[in-house]
Structure 1
Amino acid sequence: MRLLPASLFGRMMLILFSGLVLAQILSASINFAERDRLLLRSSSMQSAQRIADIVKLLDSLGPAERQRIVTVLSVPPQVVKLEAAPQAPSAAALDNPHAAMFSAALHAALGDARPLRVSVLQAAPGARPSGPESGRQGMMGEHAGMAAAMSSMPDMQAMRPFMSSGLMFLTQVQLRDGSWVAFDTQLPQGPANTPWRLLLTLLVLLLTVLVLSYAAVRWMTRPLAVLASAADALGKDINRPPLPETGPTEVRRAAHAFNIMQSSLVRFIQDRTRIFAAMSHDLKTPITRMRLRTELLEDADLRQRFDKDLREMELMVTHTLDFMRGFEQPQAARPIDITALLESLQADNQEMHREVLIEGQALAPYVGDPERLKRCVSNLIDNAILYGRQARIIVEDGPAALTLRIRDRGPGIAPDELDKVFEPFYRLEASRSRETGGTGLGLGIARNIARAAGGDVSLRNHPEGGLEATLHLPRKSSPE
């Protein structure tokens, strides 16, 4: 299973998308944590200010009035109780960052350094605290009563979903006359509902960055796609128009280098073609003279053997020139009647007592170079008859491509030789006899013609026996 996209564009988009999503998740987590911290700090300061106001009020009253005021003010979520001496909470309850924060806020609200103790009881209301506080039966009874009261009050009932995970503090503050007042205080943690506005903001930011990233990556990778398409087209048409040298500096440099490479290849092929054309012309002249001199030989058998050798030399020169030219010149494309072309080749071979069978027919004319296509198919038929005694042509046509399969009745060839036989002058048979081995250029010329037309020639050993050559030609639009 492939996890990464195949294209460079897809991989860059995957990396950017993964990075952006991870960054947004981390940002949302930090924002939620900071929001909870600020809400807790704000509620702590409000509760501390309320406790400081009650302490200042109790300082100004006598013992009798204090008890009456404490009874009135002891309303959930804050229970107030007067005590003669403070209760000693556990060290773990005192050594708590929330307790230290609340203690500092209370000192700031009181405006003095009077003794006070702040300890965290528990995080859920309605649960009975444990530990050293369990000895404070009166206070804990008040705390249980506070939970029951909160459950029964309509306003508190509505607030329970928002306060269910808040902190509960036991705060003990010394009054000026030496007595102590204790507060059971419930701090809400803040709203537990999802902050949709924040999530919507992060989503909009994520989508915006993704759209911009898509445009940037597409803009950056598009020149690579154009360069890849040009390289692919260069193999089919060496004389294709050069790439436009526009865009950023790096793109212009790549296009310029590609155009220089193309022009160098064109010059090399043209120089090679001219050289071999001259060599062919120069070789044909002495071959012609030798054939004339052969006619002067009195020995008929010797004259016939000389004439045969000279014809083979001339044919080899012609085939070599055709192969080395590479068919680099633009093709004269026009509609070709495939059925008529195959029947013409069949008739030509029947005159030479060769067996050529045709199965199927083309559905529409094929647009291409008639001379080159005829040469290509003729070479494949010659190869089939030379090594397999028969050529069976199977026509498979469709809207996208035309396929011709040429099968023979020969023994086939070894799998590791299927590609080697397309190499120049490569033959499976060791001799250089025209009757048995040919020149070793026919299949190479056929493949050159097919590839120049955008197609290809391939070989395989047919399961029913014999060798099958497949000529695949993509269809093109008809010329105007």
Structure 2
Amino acid sequence: MTLPRLRRLRPDSLAGWLAVLLLATLILSGGLLSAIFLGQRGDLGRRAAAGPALERLTEAHQQLAALSGMERQRLAHTLRSPAFHLFVGPEPLVLPPGPEAPASRLERRLAISLGERLDLFPQAAAVLINPETTDPRLRLPERPGFGWRGGRGGRGGPPRLGPDGGDGDQPPSGPERWLDHLQRQAGPAGTVLLVSLPLPDGEVLNAVAVLAPPLPPHPGTLPLLALPLLVLLGVAAVALVALRRATRPLERLAAAAERVGIDLNAPPLSESGPGEVRRASHAFNRMQERLARFVTDRTRMLAAISHDLRTPITRLRLRAELIDDEEMRERMIADLDEMEEMIAATLAFARDEAAGEDLEAVDPARLLGDLTKSFAEAGAKVRLDDRRPAGDRQPIAGRPMALRRAFANLIDNAMKYGGEARLTLLAGGDELVVEIDDNGPGLPEEALEEVFRPFHRLEGSRSRQTGGAGLGLAVVRSVVRGHGGDVRLANRPPRPPDDPGGLTARVALPANAAPARDDSPEG
């Protein structure tokens, strides 16, 4: 799998990240528990299999400790069995563990168990499990014969074991062969246990036990192993539900922020849920109220200033009529006409902003079709081409009058500076795209963004005489961004023979079919 595909599989939400983290933790802990269980199951089986041998060894040690000499040797010979042999000697068969020869966990536990049963120090009991001849804790005599034949070897020699666990006529001839014989007798799943215990008079009781393989796992073991996994899955399911409920207020907050960017008069966010969520919702609602109040006050102030300027302009016009110099009089009256036109445009802009038109479902093809028809009836060369697939021709959420005015401004500009306007409706995924092309001279690259500033006008073909008050494109951008979209201008190179080039205005609007509302229940 390639890296881009892996990145696409990455969660994109807080709930997703927390869920992945939780599931990874649960899987890791479940795997660790299973590994610990499976790793200790072998030790537990060997410990259980060694239980009877430890019981017999404890009883034998207690009996042999009360005897000495030949009586002790005879009793040791009497207590042996095909898989359990005892012999007494001056040297231990197994040395206690040390820093260079540590004991395994199971060996330590068995040694501690023997020490507790016999009232010995833990270090006094030495245990080896499945040893090798190179084990530094194993001490086997090196002399030939090793006391195997006839059971009359040296006093401390280990017993003679045949293939059946009894006395054999063909015993091994050395320590390596002896250990190998014990391992074969135990089998691949069995265990060879070697133990050395001190006796009160200084001698050492050495024991060799061949343990049977541990019993196979009980049929109920797997269900018991699956039980923690089921518990972990249940915890994961409950945690995922809790994570979803915990992050849902964040989703509503994000949706409300997006909605306020389109409609400052949208319903306030529900102030319910945990304390942190209530405080965040309350702060968000207060911010929305302040923004709405600020925009309303600014619009009213702009309208009031524009209205109040009409009076001094009228007085100036009356005084200009009294000027004797005709050229000066005409120039002053032309400036006053321009000021009055700017004030009229500002008042119209303020009225539109203060109108507070509600969002509703708008059919873009119908709205633009009515506009092109109105312009065509006035003699303008305007046409509309809807290139959206049939499945993408849904209505959008918008303010019909504001959108009509914005597109009318763009068509009017295209007619003034390009002679005609070609409108194209396109589907851009989650956007509705409207392109307005003209055949005009275009704009300098540095002016493509500047023309959206209020009262900004260019010389030349887009001069003061033809450019109006300079609010047209500012109104377009204000309306489009108020719907959550954006508008851009771009020069279009010539494409002979049909397209001489010109300017393209590209409007992108969200393709949502209805106004967003906060109707989801809390929790």
Shorter-chain TM range is 0.7 to 0.9
Contact 1:171 1:184 in 2 (8 A): no
Correspondence 1:74 to 2:81? yes
1:320 to 331, 335, 346: 346
Going from structure 1 to structure 2, the CA distance change for 1:188 and 1:458 (only over 3 Å counts) comes to farther
1:49 to 29, 49, 55: 55
State the partner residue of 2:506.
470
Contact 1:346 1:356 in 2 (8 A): yes
Deviation at 1:476, TM superposition (A): 3.5
State the partner residue of 1:19.
25
Distance 1:254 1:463 in 2: 50
Contact 1:402 1:475 in 2 (8 A): no
Distance 2:34 2:256 in 1: 46
1:171 to 192, 196, 213: 196
Deviation at 1:261, TM superposition (A): 1.8
1:185 to 209, 233, 253: 209
Deviation at 1:175, TM superposition (A): 9.2
Distance 1:122 1:299 in 2: 125
Amino acid at match of 2:81: S
Q: 1:364-416 deviations in whole A, cap 9, x for unaligned?
A: 87775444333211211233344545432223369976432112334544656
State the partner residue of 2:11.
5
Distance 1:447 1:254 in 2: 31
1:372-411 equivalent positions in 2, closer than 5 A: 372-396=402-426, 402-411=432-441
Distance 2:512 2:114 in 1: 87
Correspondence 1:133 to 2:140? yes
Contact 1:429 1:436 in 2 (8 A): no
1:230-241 equivalent positions in 2, closer than 5 A: 230-241=256-267
1:82-231 equivalent positions in 2, closer than 5 A: 82=87, 85-86=90-91, 96-97=102-103, 101-110=109-118, 118-120=126-128, 122-123=130-131, 132-133=139-140, 135=142, 137=146, 138=148, 139=158, 140=175, 143-151=179-187, 160-161=188-189, 163=190, 166=191, 168-171=193-196, 182-186=206-210, 196-231=222-257
Structure 1 residue matching 2:378: 3-state secondary structure: helix
Q: 1:70-98 deviations in whole A, cap 9, x for unaligned?
A: 5xx4323x3x1545544565676896445
Structure 1, 408-417 or 255-264: larger mean CA deviation: 408-417
Deviation at 1:470, TM superposition (A): 1.5
Structure 1 residue matching 2:268: 3-state secondary structure: coil
Distance 2:258 2:397 in 1: 21
Deviation at 1:144, TM superposition (A): 4.2
Structure 2 residue matching 1:135: 3-state secondary structure: coil
CA RMSD of aligned residues (A): 4.5
Going from structure 1 to structure 2, the CA distance change for 1:120 and 1:375 (only over 3 Å counts) comes to same
Contact 2:382 2:421 in 1 (8 A): yes
1:272-421 equivalent positions in 2, closer than 5 A: 272-288=298-314, 305-324=331-350, 327-328=353-354, 329-331=356-358, 333=360, 336-348=366-378, 350=380, 355-360=381-386, 369-396=399-426, 402-413=432-443, 417-421=447-451
Q: When you count helix as a share of all residues, which structure comes out higher?
A: 1
For normalisation by structure 2, the TM-score amounts to 0.70
Structure 2 residue matching 1:245: 3-state secondary structure: coil
Going from structure 1 to structure 2, the CA distance change for 1:262 and 1:475 (only over 3 Å counts) comes to closer
State the partner residue of 1:157.
none
Deviation at 1:213, TM superposition (A): 2.1
Q: 1:251-272 deviations in whole A, cap 9, x for unaligned?
A: 2222222222222222222222
Deviation at 1:304, TM superposition (A): 5.7
Correspondence 1:253 to 2:261? no
Distance 1:460 1:167 in 2: 88
Going from structure 1 to structure 2, the CA distance change for 1:97 and 1:398 (only over 3 Å counts) comes to closer
Deviation at 1:428, TM superposition (A): 5.1
Going from structure 1 to structure 2, the CA distance change for 1:282 and 1:414 (only over 3 Å counts) comes to same
Contact 1:312 1:434 in 2 (8 A): no
Distance 1:225 1:240 in 2: 17
Deviation at 1:225, TM superposition (A): 1.5
Q: 1:172-200 deviations in whole A, cap 9, x for unaligned?
A: 66598x98653222468967869534542
Going from structure 1 to structure 2, the CA distance change for 1:64 and 1:106 (only over 3 Å counts) comes to closer
Amino acid at match of 1:406: I
Unaligned residue ranges in structure 1 (runs of 5+):
152-159
Distance 2:447 2:281 in 1: 38
Q: 1:118-174 deviations in whole A, cap 9, x for unaligned?
A: 3526358xx8979642627444465544444444xxxxxxxx44x3xx563243665
Contact 2:96 2:124 in 1 (8 A): no
Amino acid at match of 2:239: S
Going from structure 1 to structure 2, the CA distance change for 1:38 and 1:304 (only over 3 Å counts) comes to same
Distance 1:377 1:254 in 2: 38
Structure 1, 141-150 or 271-280: larger mean CA deviation: 141-150
Structure 1, 431-440 or 208-217: larger mean CA deviation: 431-440
Deviation at 1:450, TM superposition (A): 2.3
Deviation at 1:234, TM superposition (A): 0.7
Contact 2:487 2:506 in 1 (8 A): yes
Deviation at 1:295, TM superposition (A): 7.0
Contact 2:58 2:117 in 1 (8 A): yes
For normalisation by structure 1, the TM-score amounts to 0.75
Structure 1, 197-206 or 317-326: larger mean CA deviation: 317-326
Contact 1:48 1:109 in 2 (8 A): no
Going from structure 1 to structure 2, the CA distance change for 1:20 and 1:330 (only over 3 Å counts) comes to same
Contact 2:426 2:433 in 1 (8 A): yes
Going from structure 1 to structure 2, the CA distance change for 1:173 and 1:49 (only over 3 Å counts) comes to farther
Pairs aligned (count): 455
| % identical equivalent positions | 33
Q: 1:82-119 deviations in whole A, cap 9, x for unaligned?
A: 45544565676896445565444334445689x98635
Contact 1:392 1:406 in 2 (8 A): yes
Contact 2:372 2:383 in 1 (8 A): no
